[in-house]
Amino acid sequence: QTLQDVDLFMPAVRSLFDRFEKSEIHLAYLDALCESGELIAWLIGNKNTDDFNRLISITKSNTDDAIALNAIASLLSTRNVLSQLLYPDHPFKSLDDFMSVILDLKIGSASEINQIK
């Protein structure tokens, strides 16, 4: 495979990202997710909702720091937005299914992108 072969792959890559044409915010969110490996790994490792809520409750009860409380709120919001993506009822059957879930994420503003950075 060389740079000469790039033209062979471009149509497939274009078609993959054409779906984001009407939703640049979702593409920006996907980009931020790709740079947030540690957060994603931590959220996947804390899949159980009861355990997660217990951990959040303990953490919130042990701080009154505004920055820490805002970070906790961002974490909760991010987990809620990503729940369909990180904790699907069934494994994704295809990249197309995965991308459909990304495009269905409830991302209302750029502030939600900043929460995962």
Amino acid identity for residue 10 in this structure? M
**Domain map (residue ranges) of the chain:** 3-115
Q: Count other C-beta atoms under 10 Å from residue 84's C-beta.
A: 14
Per the model's pLDDT, the better-predicted residue between 53 and 19 turns out to be: 53
Please determine, for residue 48, whether its predicted confidence score (pLDDT) is greater than 80.
yes
Model confidence pLDDT, tens digit, residues 75-108: 999 999 999 999 999 999 998 899 889 888 888 7
Reference 78, options 68, 88, 90, 86; nearest CA is 86
Please determine, for residue 60, whether its predicted confidence score (pLDDT) is greater than 80.
yes
